[in-house]
Amino acid sequence: MDYIFHIIILINIYIILTTSTNLLVGMTNLLSLGQAAFYGLGAYFSVLALMVLHLTIIPALLFSAICTSLMSLLIAYPSLRLKGDYFVLATLGFQLIIYTILYNWISVTKGPFGISGIPSPSLFGLLYISGIYSFLVLSSVLAAMVIYIFYKLIHSPFGRALKGVRDDELSLLSIGRNVTSLKIWAFTLSSGFIAIGGCLYASYVAYIDPTSFNLDEAIFILAAVLIGGTGNIKGPIIGAVFVVVLPELLRLVGLPDSIGANLRQIIYGLTIILLMRFRPQGIAGEYALK
């Protein structure tokens, strides 16, 4: 039973990651290879909040989300001046810079040794969230909250304007909308919410190191979104379920982990190639990448 709960918690974390990324990729047509960097920043900021500032869980979540959004604002402004491949490259560059900093700034992040013994967060100082059941509740609540917020965002005038950016930037400019500021909003919101995933991950696993937030992870998050589908709410959720459940299924059929790890990556890769060719909007998505 615990095993199933563990899977559900992982799915919840990935739902937060993919739903936030969808705001960028699916709604605004900005392909970012830097999402793992914000996931990582969120995790490290939450460690700062929990271990150094001794905050309880809600302030810690807010702290890491806000700090990560502010960091992303620094990155958003220069990157968003670039278009197409150049934007992808800029996000890739920032992803690698942030990873290098997390890896090498040993005095602060402990670098490759990672930070262990992250304490269980408390709720209002009354209740300690430790053990799998409380994390199940916490992660489900957070995932539901993130889904709800993005549902609201997508179906609001703001969401409509973002879809406008995706469909036709020129036209949106000609009707007097500030495209850059809309993109910056999408970028910072996406990274702020992805930080919540980072915070959840850090407090659940109680150990973080930079390799969880490297370029492979960024590609993995992007792959999850694109497999599930872009542009609506259910696509990213399906993507998250797919990428978390597939390895467990492979384990269930009795493949040893050594083969399973590679095999599932091969399956992800093939799925991406086939989807891009035959169904570029993903399994359940609405909009194909442009």
Q: Are 122 and 50 in contact (CB under 8 A)?
A: no
Cα separation of 177 and 169, whole Å?
9
Nearest CB to other proteins, comparing residues 4 and 276: 276
Nearest CB to other proteins, comparing residues 238 and 264: 264
289 forms part of the interface with other proteins (CB under 8 A)? yes
Tokens representing 281 are 């909007």
Name the one range near other proteins by CB under 8 A: 8-16, 84-92, 137-145, 201-209: 84-92
First-residue to last-residue Cα distance in the chain: 42
Name the one range near other proteins by CB under 8 A: 62-70, 164-172, 203-211, 242-250: 164-172
Cα separation of 38 and 46, whole Å?
12
Cα separation of 81 and 75, whole Å?
11
Cα separation of 224 and 83, whole Å?
23
* Radius of gyration, alpha carbons of the chain: 18
Task: Tell me the per-residue interface mask from 26 to 65 with other proteins, x by CB under 8 A, - otherwise.
Answer: -----x----------------------------------
- Judged by CB under 8 A, how many residues of this single chain contact other proteins? 72
Among 73, 129, 179, 206, binds other proteins (CB under 8 A): 179
129 forms part of the interface with other proteins (CB under 8 A)? no
Among 226, 233, 243, 284, binds other proteins (CB under 8 A): 226
Q: β-strand 115-116 against 122-123: which pairing, if any?
A: unpaired
Footprint (CB under 8 A) of other proteins, residues 133-162: 149, 152-153, 155-161
Name the one range near other proteins by CB under 8 A: 8-16, 43-51, 79-87, 194-202: 79-87
CB within 8 Å of 28: residues ≥ 6 apart: 162, 165, 166, 182, 183, 186
Among 1, 52, 84, 124, binds other proteins (CB under 8 A): 84
78 forms part of the interface with other proteins (CB under 8 A)? yes
Residue that is written with structure tokens 């309880």 in the block = 56
Residue that is written with structure tokens 């609001």 in the block = 156
Nearest CB to other proteins, comparing residues 51 and 263: 263
Cα separation of 201 and 208, whole Å?
8
132 forms part of the interface with other proteins (CB under 8 A)? no
Q: Are 202 and 117 in contact (CB under 8 A)?
A: no
Cα separation of 273 and 284, whole Å?
16
In the complex, minimum distance from the CB of residue 214 to other proteins, in angstroms, rounded to a whole number: 10
Among 52, 117, 124, 290, binds other proteins (CB under 8 A): 290
Residue that is written with structure tokens 């996000």 in the block = 91
163 forms part of the interface with other proteins (CB under 8 A)? yes
Footprint (CB under 8 A) of other proteins, residues 238-267: 259, 262-263, 265-266
CA 189, 194, 197, 201 dihedral sign is negative
Name the one range near other proteins by CB under 8 A: 2-10, 78-86, 138-146, 240-248: 78-86
Among 7, 184, 215, 246, binds other proteins (CB under 8 A): 215
Tokens representing 102 are 């997390």
In the complex, minimum distance from the CB of residue 155 to other proteins, in angstroms, rounded to a whole number: 8
